[in-house]
Amino acid sequence: MSLFDLVAILLTLAALLSFLNERYLHLPSTIGLMLISLLLSLGLIVTALLGWEVESQAEAILTRVNFSDLLLHGMLAFLLFAGALHVNLDDLLEQKWIISSLATVGVLTSTFLVGILTWFSFGALGLHIPLLYCLVFGALISPTDPIAVLGILKSSNAPKSLETKITGESLFNDGVGVVLFLVLLGIVKSGHAQKPIDIVLFFLQEAVGGALFGLAAGFLVYWMLKRVNHYPVEILLTLALVTGGYALAEKLHISAPIAMVVAGLLIGNHGRALAMSEKTCEHLDSFWELLDEVLNAVLFVLIGLEILVLSFQITYLVAGLASIPIVLVCRWISVGIPVAVLSLRRQFSKNVVTIMTWSGLRGGISVALALSLPPGPEREVILVATYTVVVFSILVQGLTIGRLFPETEAIKPVTH
């Protein structure tokens, strides 16, 4: 099967499922597409039990799609840039302390809490998964997924300040989470711990290097945008920024996701205000919104179909279900600590920790990272646990999150 055939199948399936959702279910597109594709996958599994070969044929096609590479080294560049393109930088700077705290301290705290608690949980179920692998699971499941979060927030009525915090955290903490994941996975593969200074230098290279690279690449394209006034060329320049910038960042071994977020913020704010005409802005927004919708549709269809390649033993499934409350409790603690510290200088609404806990959705990035683990029994357990948490996060949390927002107040500084 050729690459064109695979793309044709995925786009056709995404289009048909999008039609079904829009015509009959009327759910937010990300939730609806994943739900229908998940039900389709379960239907195919049932046909296999009946002796039909449809499920095996679908699985053969799906195995041709390297989900991890497709998302982490392809689609993620476009989705992060498109998400950052519409974030107001001034709003983001107003919430910089809570966002940076959640994206760093919050991710670290959650990673180690999830790792330790799942180690006990897996052990109680007779699954003897090494602690290091449990910490790897904590690293890949702790960051909130910007793609899932942005997709759900589009259809919610979250207050502006809360939306900024949720969006800002999700855009940056996945880069931090990937760096932490790579550090822990490196220890697993090498069999010995790295020196603390090496870990710090690696983090600085990835995170800070990615931010500086994104700023430089974004400024270069911004400079070029100021010198032309022809929207097809300007859109092409942003495409080159995303594709070329992401590829070069990976070659330089710096965080390509963080680079794309920073570049998207620069183009979406200074580029939009100072380097583009009104006509260009309209066409640029239309182009990236459409591309974002198409890629999201394909992504969430793939997430729903991934169940076909998982090893769903009963013990693994129970381990996955047990991981749901663990991840939620650890998320609540990792959000509560920064909020408690910052509340000494700022006033938060009383339910902000609960709302940010429930709105911390997990998605395709966690699944992609789990799929990138080396083969072995640990991989199968972690993959099933990750998939179970992601499905719960998107379907249950995603469908109910909107009910929390009307009662939420914006964060206001303390007046003295």
Rounded Cα distance between 357 and 347, Å, is: 18
Backbone conformation region of residue 348, classed left if phi is above 0, alpha if psi is from -120 to 50, else beta: beta
The model carries a pTM of 0.91
- pLDDT reported for residue 155: 65
Q: What is the DSSP letter of 23?
A: I
- The DSSP annotation for 377-395 comes to HHHHHHHHHHHHHHHHIII
**33 DSSP assignment:** H
> What is the rounded distance in angstroms from the CA atom of residue 265 to the CA atom of residue 92?
10
Burial of 324 (0-12, 13-18, 19+ CB in 10 A): middle
Tell me, what DSSP letter sits at residue 193?
P
Give 347's strand partners: 412
* Nearest residue to 106 (alpha-carbon basis) of 44, 194, 170: 170
Instruction: State the CB neighbour count (10 A cutoff) for residue 112.
Output: 18
- Provide the pLDDT for residue 59: 79
User: Which residues does 86 contact at the CB level (< 8 Å), separation at least 6?
Assistant: 268, 285
Neighbours of 248 (CB within 10 A): 14
- CA angle, 240 then 241 then 242, to 5°: 90
Q: What is the mean pLDDT of each run of 10 residues along the chain (416 residues)?
A: 87 95 92 93 82 76 87 92 91 91 94 97 95 96 87 72 86 88 88 79 90 97 96 97 96 94 95 93 95 93 89 90 97 95 84 90 93 90 96 92 60 35
Task: For CA atoms 311, 143, 326, 408, give the dihedral sign.
Answer: negative
Torsion, CA 171, CA 381, CA 45, CA 144, rounded to 10: -10
